Each structure stands twice: as C-alpha cells, then as structure tokens.
Structure 1
Amino acid sequence: MEKDRTRDAAQTQLPRWDGPLTHPFYSKVLKRCLDFALAVVFLLPCLAVMLPIAIAVKCTSEGPVFYRALRGGYHNRPFSILKFRTMVVGADQYASTTALDDPRVTRVGRVLRRSKLDELPQLFNILKGEMSFIGPRPELLRYTMRYTPQEQCILWVRPGISDPSSIRLINLDELVGHDDPEGCYETKILAEKNRMRVAYARSQSFGLDAKVFWETLLCVLKKNLNREPSVRRKMPARQGGNR
C-alpha cells in the first residue's frame, strides 16, 4: 500500500518535458526494437550465468535472490528496477548510497557489483519496455521528483543499464568515501551526473549508444583487472534507504 502511494505521488509530481529529441525515430521506435531483439538474443546465454549467481546469492546469505526498488522511469512512470541482491537483509535501514568498503555488501555481492553482473536481471526490465541497454541510469524517486526544467529531458528517454555517467563514475563508492556517502553524493556527485544524463538524452543516437556500449565493456574489464584488495569497515549509523 505504501509503495502504491509513493508510485502515485511520483507519477503526479514528476514534471514532463516536451522538448525536441535529436533523433526522435531512433529514440522512440528503432531503439526499442533493437533493445527487445538484443534482450531476446542475450536471454538464453545470460540465464546460464544467472542461475549459478542466484544459487550463490541464496546459499551465502539470508534473504531473497533479487533486489527490487522504485526508480523514476520512461515518461515519468516509476518502475521497479531488478538486480541480484548484493547486500545483507535489512540494508534498507541504512544509507541509500553505497560507501567505500561498505560492510552491508556481502562477499558474493562484492564480486557481482565489481563485475556489474548484479545488473543482469535488468534484461527483464528491458523486455518489459521499462529500460534500454543504453540510457540515463534510473535515479531514486526523491531525486527525480526534484529535477529542474533543464533536467526533465532525462525522463523523456528510457533509462538504461549504462550511460556516459556510469563510465565516468564507475568507481562511485570510492568517490563518495565512507564518512558521509549520502551527503557527498547529493552535494558533489548528483549535479554532475545529471548534467551528463541531460547531455546524453538530448543527443541520443545509434552511434552514441554503440560508443557507450563498448566503452562500458572496456571500463568494466579494466576495473576488474586493476582491482585492489579492500578492508571492510564497521556498520554505519542508520540513515534510511538503499541504493
């Protein structure tokens, strides 16, 4: 019931943007067809990877296999983004931004987050038409409801698994640190992230999407090859939410 009220409130408060798109046919028609076709092609091989991941998540920590959370979606419609659960049960009682060496992240979760395999279930979001492979990363409703008129165009294209801000901020947990990750994200990261989302939304094209797709793969590969060991820290004080 509470989730329904939040969804309804977001639907009525999120502003609409009626500005022009650089490539409207690609953005509204062709891209959706490509997303659906690629999701169908990738689904079978990805299921072979997702099954052992699901078993590992279930066997190594208590709680559900998947994590669902409301995000601001296409045409202002909130939707439930789907991920493999990478945190302990009850992590929602703490900060919504994941800190550096966050103790809420499970052992399996650290591997999944570093490799971005926790995002694989979003194939189902793509099949449902809620997301694209490439598009502005969907944000928490409390942030999308505060978008400025210039930022409203972010909501006029489908959110995606990756975008230019995902590449630029791939080490987000390191950028926000561990002292006040939520405050750091809101004061130092969010505005720049939205600027990159706006730039992408206004210039979305097949060429740009292909570029972001390959850069994402290279960036994830580089991050895993250059991995350094981390030290787990104490559980932070309660602040609410879970990113």
Structure 2
Amino acid sequence: MRTVDETPHVVLPATSPARLPASRRILDVVVALTLLVVLAPLLALLALLVAVTSGRPVLFRQARTGEGGREFTLYKFRSMRSGSAGPQVAGGADPRVTATGRLLRRLGLDELPQLWNVLRGDMTLVGPRPEIPDLARRYPPEHQWVFRYRPGLTGPCQLRSRAYAAQLDGRPDPEAYYLRVLVPRRTALDAEFLDRASVRNVLRYVARTALYVLRVPRDADRGRRGGWS
C-alpha cells in the first residue's frame, strides 16, 4: 500500500478513454453530492471511530487506475494497520485488517469517502472496480480493455467482493490467483454491465448495493452455520 500525490500519469499503454455520457455524469454529481451532505454526520462519526481505535491517518489514500489508464488518488477510511506490508489483494481473513476495519469492510462503510472521487469525476457510481496500478499492469492483455472505462464506486464485481475475498484466504500466492482466476471473471461481469450501462441500470445497481449492505447480518449468520455455497 502506498500513498501518492494528486498528480495523474499514465500507468498503462496509452488507450482512448470511453467517455462517460453526460446523463450519467449528471447522475453521479447529483447522487454523490446529496449523499455527502446527508451522510456528513455519519462520515464524521466514522472518522472519529477510526482515529480513536486505530490512530492516524484516518483516510487511506492510494493510487488507482482510472479512465484511459490514468492514475488518480482513491480515498477510503483506513481499515488496515499503518505500514503493514503484504500482498496487494486482501482476503477475507487478512491479519493486516484492524478490528474496526473489519467492521467497516463488512458493512461497506470504508468505501464512503469515494463519493468524493465520484463528485470529482475520478470515478462513477457504477463501473469496473478501481484497480491498483501495479496489478493493472500485470493484467492479461486480453483483459486490459477494462481500463478504458471510468471505475465505479459499486458494480457487479463489487457486489461479489466478499465472496472474492474469501477465495483468496489460504492461497500461497493470492496475487497470482487473483490475476489468473478472478480477473477474467471480473472483466466478464464488467463487460456485461457496460453493454447496458444506462441510467436505469445504474440506478438498479445502486439499489442492489444498498440491499447488499443491509444483507450483511443474515449472510454472516449463514457463514457461521456453514451455509456458503
């Protein structure tokens, strides 16, 4: 995990970005700005919780690959111990994750600062998962097309993040498994969404994301009973 400045630069071979339609950009601004205002007390409370239980910094800043293969700085509430080293992908039982961070990840609350990325235009509400530049460079060439598109706060892959993270647990080389097995699955799901990325479908995924977060307690109980498929 590395902290970066705000200067964007190309991390992949130059590729033409797939520009976001104006209707979706308007939707991004309206939804992101509304949620940032409405959720301001919750964001302040979460920042205080991270500061008290895990210390500073409260926000985790990291370079991610954006539209057209250009880097941007992504913001999250910090969920890992400061200075912890290890694979660039985290499993569901990764020991680097703090107790508070595990709760935030379980509820999807660590991602809320990315609403600022959406408002800035680094990200969109629904799209491919924003990838770490080093991993992006190591994607199989046939899957690097995904970096033409603006990454999303949520999307079909993000809604499977818990299942994907669990698959990384116990792997001797989680990064290799991620690139060899999970990346092809993820880009196939991204392609399916991007073929029908209308405003209506975006709103559908936003609604599905809310249900995904609210379903956590029930899913956790199923997991403890060994009910995962």
Shared fold per TM-score greater than 0.5:
yes
Cα distance change of structure 1 residues 146 and 199 upon mapping to structure 2, 3 Å threshold = farther
The AA in structure 2 aligned to 1:207 is: R
In the other structure, the counterpart of 2:121 is: 129
In the other structure, the counterpart of 2:37 is: 44
Q: Distance in 2 between matches of 1:168 and 1:31?
A: 23
Say if 2:64 and 2:74, in contact at 8 Å, map to a contact too: yes
Shift of 1:172: 2.2
Q: Distance in 2 between matches of 1:50 and 1:105?
A: 20
- 1:174 paired with 2:166, answer yes
- 1:28 paired with 2:21, answer yes
Say if 2:57 and 2:78, in contact at 8 Å, map to a contact too: yes
Q: Can you list the C-alpha shifts for 1:113-133, whole angstroms capped at 9, x where unaligned? A: 000000010111111111111
- 1:143 paired with 2:135, answer yes
Q: Can you list the C-alpha shifts for 1:81-129, whole angstroms capped at 9, x where unaligned? A: 10000011112x2111112322211111111000000001011111111
TM-score (norm 2): 0.84
Cα distance change of structure 1 residues 151 and 202 upon mapping to structure 2, 3 Å threshold = farther
Q: 2:75 aligns to what SS in structure 1?
A: strand
Say if 2:61 and 2:75, in contact at 8 Å, map to a contact too: yes
Q: Distance in 2 between matches of 1:41 and 1:9?
A: 31
In the other structure, the counterpart of 1:190 is: 183
- Would you say how many aligned residue pairs link Structure 1 and Structure 2? 219
Shift of 1:72: 0.7
- 1:16 paired with 2:8, answer no
TM-score (norm 1): 0.80
Q: Distance in 2 between matches of 1:113 and 1:163?
A: 16
Q: Percent identity?
A: 30
- 1:208 paired with 2:201, answer yes
- 1:117 paired with 2:109, answer yes
Gaps of 5+ in 1: 231-243
Q: Can you list the C-alpha shifts for 1:133-169, whole angstroms capped at 9, x where unaligned? A: 1111111112333456654542333211111112234
Say if 2:143 and 2:184, in contact at 8 Å, map to a contact too: no
| Higher RCO (CA 8 Å, separation ≥ 6 residues) | 1
Q: 2:81 aligns to what SS in structure 1?
A: coil
